[in-house]
Each structure stands twice: as C-alpha cells, then as structure tokens.
Amino acid sequence: MVGESSSLKVGQQCLAIGNPFGFDHTLTVGVISGLDRDIFSKTGVTIGGGIQTDAAINPGNSGGPLLNSKGSLIGINAAIFTQTGTSAGVGFAIPSSTVRRIVPQLIQFGKVVRAGLNVDIAPDLIANQLNVRNGALVLQVPKNSLAAKVGLNPTKRGFAGNIVLGDIIIAVDNKPVKSKAELLKVLDEYNVGDKVMFLIQRGDEKMELPLVLEEQSS
C-alpha cells in the first residue's frame, strides 16, 4: 500500500528495508528527522521534497522501501550523507508523492519524462564567477528550441571580447528561483506542454516571458 508522504510529520516512526552490504531483507527503524530536503543526484537532477531519516541506510539500501509504522510505503531510500561511506544517521528517501508520478512514466516510456526548456543553464559556480548571485543564468539557447522562438537570450561575447550576460531566470509562475538547482526543482513540478510564465532579468530590466515546456533532453 502506498501512503501519503505529504502528511508526514517530523518525529514520526519509519522503517527502512534493504540489502545493506549484501545482507538481504534487513530492517532498520528510525524516525522522520526532516522533510522537504533536496536530494542531489549524480546526473545533476535535484529531487525536491526528500524525506530525511535517522534509520540506518547503507550501500545496498538504495531502491528499498521506507515505510511508516502501518507498513505503507512513504518513500524510496535513495542516498546518505556520510564521510565514511556508511550510515551516519542522515539518510534520504524520495517521497511517495514523487514515486506515484514517475512510476507510470517508467512503465509507459521506460524513462522519466521531464519537462524543461532545453537550454543550457550556467552551473552555480560559473554563475557566481560572472557575479550572478540570484537566479539561473542562461548560457546557450538552441535555435530550434521553443525558448529561442520566444526570444530567450543566451550569454555571448561582445564586440570587444567581453562577456554579455544572457537572461537570468529569477521566477517561474511567481515561484522564486535563486540558482540552477532551484530552477530544475521547480520545473520538475510541471509536465511537457505546460505553459509557464518566466520572470527574467535582462540587463537592468525585468520582464515576463510565457514559455511552453518541452521534453527535457538528457
């Protein structure tokens, strides 16, 4: 049975099942120690709404269920925060609300279909080097993308060889965006074909651009 991760409370008991270090069907018990955490994947995708737990999660637990005290699925164990490679009491699970959304896509398409702009956004380190402290800086905009058709501006070099900053996305449908990670997290709430209003900073001006989201290429 799939439970509702949206109703979880900090301090609530939870159980993690997995195969840590090859020991199959291992059960560990803990509590929900945090909610709405960001889980950063190796592919660069930020998964929002993560569940933090102190139930022991080790290599081999990933992909196993996180259950509530009634045995209902509330998340899928995904990651740990550790400096040793073993549990330090800080584990993370993808919430069941996200699981409900992506499993039908995996069954139908064999992959997760993510909505996006299909433009290059500057990594936060590069954005900081270019003195962009707030928002997601657009680096490149493919000519055939919907973003190009509505006039989203890329970063480019000026005649003197200087860098001319592209548009900086600072909000999506009135939801503030402070970084590339936050932009990806917000866009993950939408579906392909959704029309979204982007608030951008272009030089000294702020303007709104309505954009239809495409399937994000890998």
Q: What is the pLDDT of residue 100?
A: 86
Confirm if 139 and 166 have CB atoms less than 8 A apart: yes
- Which tens digit of pLDDT belongs to each residue from 94-105? 898 888 888 888
Quickly state the pLDDT bin for 123 (edges 50, 70, 90): confident
- Which tens digit of pLDDT belongs to each residue from 31-68? 999 988 887 766 666 777 889 998 888 887 888 999 99
Residues forming CATH 2.40.10.10 domain(s) in the chain = 5-109
Provide mean pLDDT across the span 183-212. 92
Q: What is the pLDDT of residue 218?
A: 59
- Ranges of beta strands (E only) in 41-183 are 46-53, 65-68, 73-80, 91-95, 115-116, 120-121, 136-140, 156-157, 163-164, 168-172, 175-176
The second-level CATH assignment, the architecture, of 5-109 is: Beta Barrel (2.40)
Q: What is the pLDDT of residue 175?
A: 95
Q: What is the pLDDT of residue 84?
A: 54
CA distance 171 to 135: 8
Q: What is the pLDDT of residue 152?
A: 93
DSSP 71: S
Quickly state the pLDDT bin for 140 (edges 50, 70, 90): very high
pLDDT of 86 above 60: no
Topology at the third CATH level for domain 115-215: Pdz3 Domain (2.30.42)
Residues forming CATH 2.30.42.10 domain(s) in the chain = 115-215
